[in-house]
Amino acid sequence: MSLLIVALMLQVTVALPSGKRNSLSIAESSKVGDLKRLAQKSFEQGFLRLVTAEGHILADPNQFLQAAGLKEGDHLTAIVQQAKMAATDGAFAIWCHGGDRIVTWGRSRSGGDSFAVQDQLRNVQQVHATSWGAFAAILADGSVVTWGDPDRGGDSSAVQDQLRNVQQVHATSFAFAAILADGSVVTWGEPDDGGNSSAVQDQLRNVQRVHATYLAFAAVLADGSVVTWGNPDLGGDSSAVQDQLRNVQQVHGTGGAFAAILADGSVVTWGRPDLGGDSSAVQDQLRNVQQVHATGLAFAAILADGSVVTWGDPHDGGDSSAVQDQLRNM
């Protein structure tokens, strides 16, 4: 005698904000993740967030539908999320803004294994990466979760109590710098490459933006001045030009040098000379600069008259002489 087992089915209606709706049938014993995958297939749309009529977000993919409170005839809203991705030298991380999960893969030590911190990743707002092996996620409550190579930013335990109300995170190849709501900065990772800002900590007040080369940071303060730290040869030491760094509007970095645009349209550079830190050969041309862009080893400045001035490693964009005629006729 054969025994016939019939699965009890649950009928729910899922609607997109646009008004498009589908009626879905799923076994009562299923999990939230099963329902999400069914909805994604039904709408042919990935990265959906399901919200109940009461406004409850079905965030845990391993939660059973009954435990989530779903009943026959319930109506859900499916919100389409934009997937975002970050990468280190050997791993990827993909997430959705406001999501409670990050998927990582690649070399484990480079951040490809986030298993140890998955339970902490709730309402993720941003994810940033050092080039050589670590990720840092900013959560909605302003805290930060890190993983990956512990020596290159993956271990923030020494500063975890300070990582509160974090607004922005920036990275060199081996270290992170977080700007807090009060304008102060917290750093961690390789000490000599930006992870240790103790020498300038008293100056890091009212920080508006932080920029990075491969191994150094530059912070622009509210008064237009600049504070630097990290590898001194690659932009971490701006003492030679500190008196010139006033009314700074923008800062850009190659792998080893910084260029600052001042309010009068002039440019100040520092760092490794052959990587853009020495602009003396073109300084007379750097007037009324509107924008500066960088490769890993060279800079290009667009002036108000539409002309372009370049400097740095000639093989990586620092020499534009061969195309100057074309640049004048843009």
pLDDT at 57: 87
Assigned domain for 97 exists: yes
Q: Give DSSP secondary structure letters for 17-36.
A: TTS-EEEEEEETT-BHHHHH
pLDDT one-digit tens code per residue, 288-321: 999 999 999 999 999 999 999 999 999 999 999 9
> Could you tell me if 13 and 41 are in contact, meaning their C-beta atoms sit under 8 angstroms apart?
no
Q: Are residues 54 and 107 located together in one domain of the fold? A: no
Q: Average pLDDT for residues 48-71, to the nearest whole number?
A: 89
Helix (H) or strand (E) holding 272: none
Q: Average pLDDT for residues 270-299, to the nearest whole number?
A: 97
d(CA 307, CA 286): 10
pLDDT one-digit tens code per residue, 198-229: 999 999 999 999 999 999 999 999 999 999 99
pLDDT one-digit tens code per residue, 173-192: 999 999 999 999 999 999 99
Q: Kindly indicate the confidence band of residue 98, based on its pLDDT and cuts at 50, 70 and 90.
A: confident
Residue 313 neighbours by CB under 8 Å, 6+ apart: 274, 275, 276, 297, 298
Assigned domain for 304 exists: no
The percentage of residues in the chain with a pLDDT greater than 70, rounded to a whole number, is 98
pLDDT one-digit tens code per residue, 64-96: 999 989 999 989 999 888 889 999 999 999 998
Last residue of a domain, one of 37, 59, 80: 80
Assigned domain for 264 exists: no
Q: Average pLDDT for residues 161-171, to the nearest whole number?
A: 97
> Could you tell me if 78 and 49 are in contact, meaning their C-beta atoms sit under 8 angstroms apart?
yes
Q: At which residue do the structure tokens 């939660």 appear?
A: 63
d(CA 82, CA 43): 15
pLDDT at 28: 87
Q: Report CA-CA distances (Å) from 82 to 34, 106, 125, 193, 239.
A: 20, 22, 12, 33, 43
Q: Kindly indicate the confidence band of residue 1, based on its pLDDT and cuts at 50, 70 and 90.
A: very low
Residue 322 neighbours by CB under 8 Å, 6+ apart: none
- Residue 100 or 298, more confident: 298
Mean pLDDT taken over the chain? 93
Say whether pLDDT at 4 is over 90: no
What is the β-pairing status of strands 144-148 and 257-262? unpaired
Last residue of a domain, one of 174, 196, 218: 196
Q: At which residue do the structure tokens 């391993």 appear?
A: 62
pLDDT at 7: 65
Say whether pLDDT at 196 is over 70: yes
Last residue of a domain, one of 55, 80, 105: 80
Q: Kindly indicate the confidence band of residue 3, based on its pLDDT and cuts at 50, 70 and 90.
A: low
Say whether pLDDT at 128 is over 70: yes
pLDDT at 156: 98
Q: At which residue do the structure tokens 């102060």 appear?
A: 184
pLDDT at 209: 97
The residue among 91, 115, 187, 109 whose CA lies nearest residue 148 is 109
pLDDT at 303: 95
Q: Are residues 42 and 74 located together in one domain of the fold? A: yes
Which domain range does residue 20 map to?
Answer: 9-80
What is the tally of structural domains in the chain? 2
Q: Kindly indicate the confidence band of residue 99, based on its pLDDT and cuts at 50, 70 and 90.
A: confident
Q: Give DSSP secondary structure letters for 119-187.
A: GG--SEEEEEE-TTSEEEEEETTS-EEEEE-GGGTT--GGGGGG--SEEEEEE-SSEEEEEETTS-EEE
Dihedral (C-alpha) 319, 321, 326, 330: value to the nearest 10 degrees?
50
Q: Are residues 46 and 62 located together in one domain of the fold? A: yes
Identify the CATH number of the domain in which residue 91 sits: 2.130.10.30
pLDDT at 45: 84
Q: Average pLDDT for residues 230-256, to the nearest whole number?
A: 97
Say whether pLDDT at 150 is over 80: yes
Q: Are residues 86 and 64 located together in one domain of the fold? A: no
Q: Are residues 37 and 116 located together in one domain of the fold? A: no
